[in-house]
């Protein structure tokens, strides 16, 4: 169907075209596709913005410009479309071999041809907003190997979009391997629907919260202190190792010592076994030695470490019973013994399926250090397996990624996330980052994400950051992000067959399971009496003996 005429071609791939008044309805929102004849085929463009001129213009001299197109009424409706690709009769290719010329006729692309272009990928994520009969799909290879970012303001549908991607992966790829850092336990309900979803949480209060809310019993997560590097332990102690403070130096020395007690060539970061008390013991010894007496930095460090050891919530780090038993059971010489235990503890996370590291309810320092340790360990294991000729392609998804890889601020997880983003492709490590604050997220990380799934984003600074750090995204597209409805996304980049405005499927409708993290229904909650809950067991940790009894399933299940 003919809808208008090209008026201007500008920028690298934008065309402005005037639209017949009666055809405007077909193109009324961004995301519609139009086409222009090109030699031997068609060039396709996606509508990205509008300029509908009113009566005042009708009366002005601009009308004269229109005289060349008698079929168009003087109330001029101009649309801007971005050229996205070319169809030569055989296949669709990105890019435009030949620019359209002003005066050329513009046609509406129909659903059938669009379905051919956007429907043959692996991951069916939703439908074109403008052509709801057309399924929109993404390429799994490109999604994982070039990484992706899901960005939007809160409540716009990020978790839903990620859950739909995970659901598709689980349904279609029986040996898929995905590890999700689930900051708010939002994805736990996936375990109700799919057998191959495992939920891991620190035992005790955090695991009980997951179980109480979702009825899913998590397996105990352990991140033994000896597998943490200097930065992760510093993160737990709230020290910033980028500043060479005395405390960081003491900590580094202590880590080296306790590791070298078992393996004399160990560095401060090597995964060589020690117990948390040994670290404290070494520092207390230093405190007592005559030279370091009355050193406030050291006293303060010892106090921080004592508090860390007393924190019952962090027993999964400081007293990891199952992994300690594993280590003890192994026997043999160091460093092999430690490395073997290390590979088993973290290798267990690489079982096929989706592994959710549910960290909701933990303090954010603990979340970040835990995620950093897990990501570094997975990096070590996966890169080693590639070098040994046995790749284990794995997708890592990080929710609230700005907490882990913030822009302009140190975090123990930032360096590893940037490393994965930059080098993961070679080793078969894909990264998906999810954030509601693009402007607070490491720009290095964002710049490495080849595919953008951007839902409603109203903040102009967030839009600027998205624009500045993503290839393949134009200002006109990003400015339109504030007008998207919940669940609607601009999808662009390497995994996208064409840039598109897509209505993402609703996960609850598709799978019959609600996700976590839903808004509280204030009206309902304040309109009826609420049942009283016994919250005592979710407020405090518990004495160690009780925890011992409570333990049913163990990490052994994963080893
Ligand atoms: N594609 C969709 N279709 C229908 N409803 C949706 C869609 N996506 C999200 N919603 C609804 O919008 C609400 C918010 O979605 P979601 O939790 O995914 O947003 P979010 O961006 O992850 O929010 P937050 O930043 O708070 O985690 C939910 O109630 C969800 O059911």
On whether the CB atoms of residues 185 and 516 are closer than 8 A, the answer is: yes
d(CA 368, CA 181) in angstroms, rounded, equals 10
CA atoms within 13 A on the CB side of 419: 14
311 touches ligand 1 (CB under 6 Å): no
- pLDDT at position 132: 93
Residue 191 beta carbon below 6 angstroms from any ligand 1 atom: no
Query: Which pLDDT belongs to residue 274?
Result: 95
3-state secondary structure (DSSP) of residue 462: helix
Which residue's CA is minimally distant from atom 1 of ligand 1? Answer: 487
- With a 6 A CB cut-off, is 337 part of the ligand 1 pocket? no
- Residue 80 phi, psi dihedral angles, 5° rounding: -105, 130
What is the reported pLDDT for 244? 64
The pLDDT, as a whole number, for residue 555 is 47
Choice from 152, 155, 520 to test ligand 1 binding pocket (greatest atom count within 8 A of CB): 155
Of all protein residues, whose CA lies closest to atom 16 belonging to ligand 1? 157
The verdict on domain 136-224+320-514 having CATH code 3.40.50.300 is yes
Distance of CA 303 to CAs 306, 307, 406, Å?
5, 6, 28
Q: Is the CB of 152 under 6 A from ligand 1?
A: yes
Mutate to test the pocket of ligand 1, among 154, 400, 487, 519 (most ligand atoms within 8 A of CB): 487
Where exactly are the structural domains of the chain? 2-109, 136-224+320-514, 227-310
Q: What residues in the chain have per-residue pLDDT under 70?
A: 53-75, 244, 290-293, 517-518, 535-559
Q: Please indicate whether residue 159, judged by its CB atom, sits closer than 6 Å to ligand 1.
A: yes
Q: Does ligand 1 have an atom closer than 6 angstroms to the CB of 157?
A: yes
Give the per-residue pLDDT at 559. 41
Per-residue model confidence (pLDDT) at position 554: 41
Structure tokens at 156: 């716009």
Nearest atom of ligand 1 to the alpha carbon of 152: 21
241 close to ligand 1 (CB < 6 Angstrom): no
Q: ipTM for the complex?
A: 0.96
> What's the confidence (pLDDT) of residue 278?
95
Confidence (pLDDT) at 268? 84
Q: Is the beta carbon of 160 within 6 A of some atom in ligand 1?
A: yes
Query: What is the reported pLDDT for 40?
Result: 82
Question: Closest residue (by CA) to atom 14 of ligand 1?
Answer: 155
Q: What is the pLDDT of residue 243?
A: 75
Any ligand 1 atom below 6 A from CB of 517: yes
d(CA 27, CA 102) in angstroms, rounded, equals 20
pLDDT of residue 182: 96
Q: Which residues contact 546 (CB under 8 A, 6 or more apart)?
A: none
Architecture of the domain defined by 2-109: Beta Barrel (2.40)
């Amino acid at each position: 169907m003919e809808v208008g005429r090209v008026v201007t071609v500008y920028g690298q791939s934008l065309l402005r075209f005037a639209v017949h008044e009666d055809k405007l309805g077909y193109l009324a929102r961004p995301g519609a596709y139009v086409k222009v004849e090109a030699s031997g085929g068609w060039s396709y463009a996606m509508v990205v913005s509008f300029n509908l001129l009113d009566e005042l213009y009708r009366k002005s001299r601009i009308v004269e410009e229109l005289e060349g197109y008698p079929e168009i009424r003087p109330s001029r409706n101009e649309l801007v479309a971005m050229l996205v690709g070319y169809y030569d009769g055989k296949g669709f290719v990105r890019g435009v071999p030949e620019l359209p010329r002003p005066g050329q006729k513009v046609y509406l692309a129909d659903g059938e041809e669009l379905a051919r272009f956007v429907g043959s990928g692996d991951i069916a994520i939703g439908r074109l907003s403008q052509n709801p009969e057309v399924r929109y799909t993404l390429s799994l290879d490109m999604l994982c190997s070039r990484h992706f970012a899901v960005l939007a303001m809160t409540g716009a549908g990020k978790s839903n979009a990620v859950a739909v991607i995970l659901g598709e992966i689980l349904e279609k790829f029986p040996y898929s391997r995905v590890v999700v850092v689930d900051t708010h336990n939002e994805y736990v309900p996936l375990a109700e629907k799919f057998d191959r979803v495992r939920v891991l949480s620190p035992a005790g209060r955090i695991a009980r919260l997951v179980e109480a809310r979702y009825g899913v019993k998590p397996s105990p997560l352990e991140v033994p202190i000896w597998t943490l590097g200097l930065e992760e332990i510093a993160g737990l102690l709230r020290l910033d190792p980028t500043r060479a403070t005395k405390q960081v130096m003491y900590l580094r020395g202590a880590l080296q010592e306790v590791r070298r007690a078992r393996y004399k060539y160990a560095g401060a970061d090597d995964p060589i076994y020690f117990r948390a008390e040994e670290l404290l013991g070494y520092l207390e010894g230093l405190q007592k030695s005559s030279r370091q007496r009355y050193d406030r930095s050291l006293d303060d460090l010892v106090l921080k470490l004592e508090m860390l050891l007393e924190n019952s919530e962090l027993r999964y780090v400081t007293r990891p019973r199952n992994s300690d038993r594993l280590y003890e059971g192994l026997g043999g010489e160091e460093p092999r013994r430690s490395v073997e235990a290390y590979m088993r503890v973290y290798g267990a996370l690489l079982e096929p399926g989706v592994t959710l590291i549910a960290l909701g309810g933990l303090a954010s320092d603990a979340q970040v250090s835990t995620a950093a340790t897990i990501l570094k360990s997975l990096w070590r294991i996966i890169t080693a397996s590639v070098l040994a000729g046995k790749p284990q392609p794995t997708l890592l998804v990080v929710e609230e990624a700005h907490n882990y890889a913030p822009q302009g601020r140190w975090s123990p997880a930032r360096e590893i996330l940037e490393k994965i983003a930059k080098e993961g492709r070679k080793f078969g490590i894909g990264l998906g980052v999810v954030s509601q604050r693009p402007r607070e997220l490491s720009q290095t990380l964002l710049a490495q994400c080849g595919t953008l799934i951007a839902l409603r984003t109203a903040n102009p600074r967030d839009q600027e950051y998205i624009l500045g750090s993503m290839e393949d995204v134009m200002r006109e597209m990003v400015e339109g992000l504030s007008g998207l409805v919940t669940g609607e996304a601009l999808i662009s980049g390497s995994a996208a067959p064409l840039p598109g405005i897509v209505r993402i499927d609703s996960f609850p409708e598709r799978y019959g399971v609600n996700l976590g993290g839903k808004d509280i229904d204030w009206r309902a909650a304040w309109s009826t009496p609420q049942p009283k809950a016994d919250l005592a067991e979710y407020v405090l940790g518990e004495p160690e003996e009780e925890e011992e009894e409570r333990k049913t399933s163990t990490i052994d299940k994963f080893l």
